[in-house]
Amino acid sequence: MNLARHRSILFAYLGLILLLVVTGLVAPGFLSPTHFRSLAVLAAFIGIVALGQTFVVIGGGIDLSVPWVLNAAAVLMTLFAHGQDAPLVWIVPLLLAAGTLVGVVNGLGVGLFGVPPIIMTLAVNVILQGGILVYTGGAPPATAPAAIQFLAVGRIAGFPVIVLLWIVLAIVATLLLSKTAFGRYLYAVGSSATVAEFSGVPTLRTSVAAYALSGFTAALAGMLLTGYSGQAYLGMGDPYLFTSIAAVAIGGASILGGSGHYVGTIAGALVLTVLTGLLPALNLSNGALLVVYGAVILVTVALASEALTDLLPRRRARRIS
């Protein structure tokens, strides 16, 4: 990867390192291997949801439907499985497909019918929320099957399974963005849909695929999160709206599309998780904690954003006439 053209990603990692150093000074016990492992697990959930979000944002859109795609997958899985492992064989593929389908609907609404991404995905989010409330009658469903719990909290040779899964997904995402025609098309569509169209890029197919991927990763994260907490509950996806978008932004993607990379989003997910873990050490009330959390993320995103990096000295592009 060309680092000069991905400066903002570099900034995300510099920020992460800075944050870890500060953390080490303020709370030395915080960076113990055990603690670090649990941070990585928490970061994995954000990282997986933010994977699809990264693709959507690079393509010039935004996916606000992740909270309830995630939540719906979680709730439906526990409802269908009744705590049993065996039915997961069909439940998991079915729900991943359903999440993908929701993404396709988002993508078609935006790409084919011209609904603004914010409206389209927000509407789908509300519809899913309502649908799940109606379907469950508002009662919390059963507990998560053991196999899912293993994926979320189990370890292989001391290594958390979900972190391994995250690494695999990260490699796939990086290949998709950097080494495939789809990746090329996605950056082109996000930079200028018109230019992409005039260049023969399959613009509709490309943006639908990005939303579909976001639906897929949100559904996947929903099921894994159920395994982590042992059960599904209503509202469990809500924090991921903010964190998935913040991770993408901290990772250096322009919210206007056309730039960014999943490699940056990984740093974004880690930054958010370390912050979340660090703030309780400040002994604040819950409310005050949220205020600080929001403010810190705001500042971090602002620091990582193009507006600021543009102010810093930059190797000047030579103008040749």
Binding of another protein at residue 168 (CB under 8 A)?
Answer: no
Q: Does 315 bind another protein (CB under 8 A)?
A: no
Q: In whole angstroms, what is the distance from residue 293 CA to residue 192 CA?
A: 34
- 286 touches 38 (CB < 8 A): no
> Which position among 136, 192, 229, 231 is part of the footprint of another protein (CB under 8 A)?
192
- Considering beta carbons, is residue 141 or 258 the nearer one to another protein? 258
* Cβ within 8 Å of residue 303, ≥6 positions away: 11, 15
**DSSP string spanning 3-23?**
GGGGHHHHHHHHHHHHHHHHH
CB atoms within 10 A of CB 145: 24
In the complex, the smallest distance separating the C-beta of residue 53 from another protein, rounded to whole angstroms, is 21
Rounded CA-CA distance 36/41 in Å is 9
Nearer to another protein, 237 or 252 (CB): 252
The one-letter amino acid at 17: I
The token pair at 58 is 């690079």
Which residue from 44, 58, 201, 210 is in contact with another protein, where contact means CB under 8 A? 201
Shorter beta-carbon distance to another protein: residue 143 or 174: 174
314 lies in the site for another protein, by CB under 8 A: no
Assigned token pair, 264 = 């940056």
- Name beta bridge partners: 159: 156
Please tell me the number of Cα atoms within 13 Å of 64 on its side-chain side: 13
Which position among 28, 138, 200, 287 is part of the footprint of another protein (CB under 8 A)? 200
Minimal distance, residue 187 CB to another protein, in Å: 7
Please tell me whether residue 133 binds another protein under the rule CB under 8 A.
Answer: no
Q: Judged by CB under 8 A, does residue 188 bind another protein?
A: yes
- Could you say whether residue 187 binds another protein (CB under 8 A)? yes
Q: Which long-range contacts link 181-187 to residues 24+ away (Cβ below 8 Å)?
A: 182/206, 182/209, 186/55, 186/58, 186/59, 186/210, 187/58, 187/258, 187/259
Binder among 86, 89, 195, 295 for another protein (CB under 8 A): 195
Q: Does 175 bind another protein (CB under 8 A)?
A: yes
86-95 long-range Cβ contacts below 8 angstroms, 24+ apart: 88/145, 88/147, 88/148, 92/223, 95/219, 95/222, 95/223
Nearer to another protein, 86 or 195 (CB): 195
Min separation Cβ 252 and another protein, Å: 14
Give the three-state DSSP class for 202. coil
The residue whose two tokens read 């053991």 is 146
**191 is a contact residue toward another protein (CB under 8 A):** yes
Give the residue with the Cβ less far from another protein, 82 or 179: 179
One residue of 65, 259, 300, 305 binding another protein per CB under 8 A: 259
- At 259, list the tokens: 């730039």
Residue whose CB is less far from another protein, 287 or 313: 313
Interface size with another protein, residues (CB under 8 A): 28
Contact assessment for residue 40 and residue 33, using Cβ atoms and an 8 Å cutoff: no
Q: Which is nearer to another protein, 61 or 257 (CB)?
A: 257
Instruction: Figure out which of the listed residues 179, 282, 288, 291 binds another protein, where binding follows CB under 8 A.
Output: 179
**Binding-site ranges for another protein (CB under 8 A):** 2, 5, 175, 179-181, 184-185, 187-188, 191-192, 194-202, 258-259, 317-321
